[in-house]
Amino acid sequence: MSQDHVVLEMKHITKVFPGVKALDDVNLVVKAGEIHAICGENGAGKSTLMKVLSGVYPHGTFEGELVFQGQSVEFKDIKSSEDAGIVIIHQELALIPELSIMENIFLGNEPKSGIAIDWVEARRRSMDLMARVGLDESPDTAIKNIGVGKQQLVEIAKALSKDVKLLILDEPTSALNEDDSEDLLNLLRGLKAKGMTSIMISHKLNEIEEIADSITIIRDGRTVETLSVENHEIDQDRIIRGMVGRTMEARYPEHTPNIGEVFFEVKDWTVEHPQVPGRMVCKGSSFNVRRGEIVGFAGLMGAGRTELARSLFGRSYGKYHGGQIFKDGQELELGTVRKAIESGVAYLSEDRKTLGLNLLDSVMQTIVSAGLRRISKRTVIDQNEEYVAAEGYRKSLRIKVNDVYRNINTLSGGNQQKAVLAKWLFTEPDVLILDEPTRGIDVGAKYEIYGLIQNLADQGKGVVVISSELPELLGICDRIYTIFEGRITGSVLRKDATQENLMRLMTTPTPSAA
């Protein structure tokens, strides 16, 4: 198979939803044996394009032509695209937690002998597949007992079991830590070496730059351009330019911090894992925040960043073993979330959909949900104040929605995140802990969120930002703490911080004062 052999061609794809043209004359050419990345802001149409390709939107519901392996194809459902060898692995993994790795790999595709499942054959084949993806576990291990990184590998093994010719990965590393991400990318390289063609949707430009052979950029439902490694066209700035349609002078807004004295302090914070006795997720952690300061927390996934934040926020995680919280010199007892809110602490969770929002709520109900006391007298909610508050945040945070009565799940990820941020701003906190505030939102919305964070700091609040993306921390934080295995291992000023020295602190157990 020559390198130039085209395996997939999507020609002039146009997909219209009532009132919205989601895709407008999109063209995509994927060559055999390459890793082809698709980039675009949230809402650009990447997922819609993949749904067209995988038959979620059957033939006839869109305009244009699909040519797969030289033949024009018409998929009527996911099953028919899988039969042709196109397998899509979604961002949210579709595994059954209670079943074993082996059972998951062959779910819906079980090897049979007669009418019974041939478990011997299934075991043999699953061991083989697991070896191919480098998954070192027993095939009988339940999915719920392995980490997200390994679950991702199970998904890939499952895809391989179906004789896949084109593998589509939707944000494969968004839930993985750096190590697991690296492993996954290596696996993709390995599969590519054996001739596998992959399409990868990703927001992480550094990964794309590292792994992709070609990149197609989509903006507002249209193809902008396709770049290829061979022509040395791939660089992050060019991709960003293509995605947002403008040159981003800087990915982080300019900001001159105005930092006051220390007003929020945590001392010797120690917390035990809620299920595993004896395992400490925070080991005597101490840190402080100054007025007007943006403090970052860097750590690999599982290092205990979220655990630290949630245990501080009304002890909503783990078992408290010791430690004190001080604000303005006074010790705080934050035994419940309500007390934490009343003491001026806010926590924006990393998982918007499952921990941050009630998707049945309107935008207005979302915004006031943590501060009902501010708009109610003797438990009766004042509808005027409720509307005025929500409308105020809609305007000031530029939440894109026609009116605040709309359902929150009709908003894009970035706008949902703004609404959740508004919910916490409405509690008028002094200290905001923002856990992955820009996860899963597009470049433009990220820029706006960074601006909001800086604004809060300028108002004299202390902002704590937890993030998996080091460039983000380096871009907006005045000071960065590193965490390794539940222990704070360093505190680095912005001017001294580099990705390299942070990464070293994030992976070494010895505390060092930098």
The residue ranges that bind another protein (CB under 8 A) are: 17-22, 40-48, 51, 56-57, 201, 218, 220-221, 313-314, 316, 336-338, 340-341, 347, 349, 354-362, 364-365, 369-370, 372-373, 376, 379-381, 383-384, 387-388, 391, 400-402, 404-407, 409-413, 423
* Token pair belonging to 399: 């939440």
- What is the spatial distance between Cα 477 and Cα 367, in angstroms, rounded to a whole number? 26
Q: How far is the CB of 144 from another protein (least distance, A)?
A: 18
- Exposure string of 367-401, with b = 16+ CB inside 10 Å and e = fewer, is bbbbbeeebeeeeeeeeeebbebbeebbeebebeb
Q: Which is nearer to another protein, 33 or 242 (CB)?
A: 242
115: Cα separation from own chain's centroid: 42
Q: Which is nearer to another protein, 57 or 297 (CB)?
A: 57
- What does the angle CA 301 – CA 302 – CA 308 come to, to the nearest 5 degrees? 105
Q: How far is the CB of 26 from another protein (least distance, A)?
A: 12
Q: How far is the CB of 445 from another protein (least distance, A)?
A: 12
Q: Which of 68, 66, 69 is nearest to 1 (CA)?
A: 69
3 state DSSP class of 135: coil
Q: How far is the CB of 384 from another protein (least distance, A)?
A: 5
Alpha carbon separation from 354 to 23, 28, 235, 315, 323 (Å, rounded)? 29, 34, 35, 18, 29
Q: How far is the CB of 133 from another protein (least distance, A)?
A: 26
Q: Which is nearer to another protein, 258 or 383 (CB)?
A: 383
Residue ranges in 317-463 assigned as alpha helix (H): 337-342, 363-368, 383-396, 413-425, 443-458
- What is the spatial distance between Cα 514 and Cα 510, in angstroms, rounded to a whole number? 12
Q: How far is the CB of 285 from another protein (least distance, A)?
A: 21
Residues 375 and 402: beta-carbon distance below 8 Å: no
First to last CA, the chain: 54
Q: Which is nearer to another protein, 361 or 469 (CB)?
A: 361
Provide φ and ψ at 496, rounded to 5°: -95, -10
Q: Which is nearer to another protein, 190 or 274 (CB)?
A: 274
Q: Which is nearer to another protein, 326 or 387 (CB)?
A: 387
Q: How far is the CB of 311 from another protein (least distance, A)?
A: 13
* Token pair belonging to 78: 């996911």
Q: How far is the CB of 11 from another protein (least distance, A)?
A: 20
Q: Which of 174, 225, 230 is nearest to 4 (CA)?
A: 230
Residue 512: Cβ-neighbour burial (10 angstroms; 0-12, 13-18, 19+):
exposed
Q: How far is the CB of 442 from another protein (least distance, A)?
A: 8
Q: Which is nearer to another protein, 45 or 490 (CB)?
A: 45
Q: Which is nearer to another protein, 51 or 461 (CB)?
A: 51
Q: Which is nearer to another protein, 369 or 455 (CB)?
A: 369
